[in-house]
Amino acid sequence: MKDIENLLSHPEVVKQSEVNRACEELKKAIQQLIVNPNLSSLKALIEKAEKIDLTLYQEEERIELEEALKVAKEQLENPTSEQAIKEAMDRLEAAINNTKLIPSKSVLSELIDKVSGLNKEEYTE
């Protein structure tokens, strides 16, 4: 930054190549900045994921959800970039949406009993 300040304080002796180099340095510095990210959405999504009873879900989806939750928590505690925060949120949301319950005969039996108790006359075809 001192080099850039020097360039600005003596514009009459500055070469175009120096200006170009300074511009590139500034662009790189700007790209590395994180603009006060709004982490409330990420926090809410993490809280939603933590409420899920993982014992009810298939192993593959459960593992993906656990990994996505870990990454999201890391970004919440130490945000690296807005893009990384967005990717963590997208991954966690996808993991939540892709969870599949472990097939359960008792749940199926309950549904069959419920349907069996319905009066067909009350419904249209």
The tokens describing 43, both together, are: 């926090």
CA distance 104 to 84: 37
Give the type of residue at 120. Answer: K
Question: Where in the sequence of the chain do the CATH 1.20.1270.90 domains occur?
Answer: 40-117
Give the type of residue at 12. Answer: E
CA distance 62 to 46: 15
Kindly report the pTM of this predicted structure. Answer: 0.59
40-117 carries CATH number 1.20.1270.90: yes
DSSP one-letter code for 101: B
Q: In order along the chain (125 residues), what is the average pLDDT of each group of 10 residues? A: 66 76 82 72 95 90 95 92 90 94 82 82 75
Cβ atoms of 46 and 76 closer than 8 Å: yes
Residue 101 backbone phi and psi in degrees, to 5: -65, 150
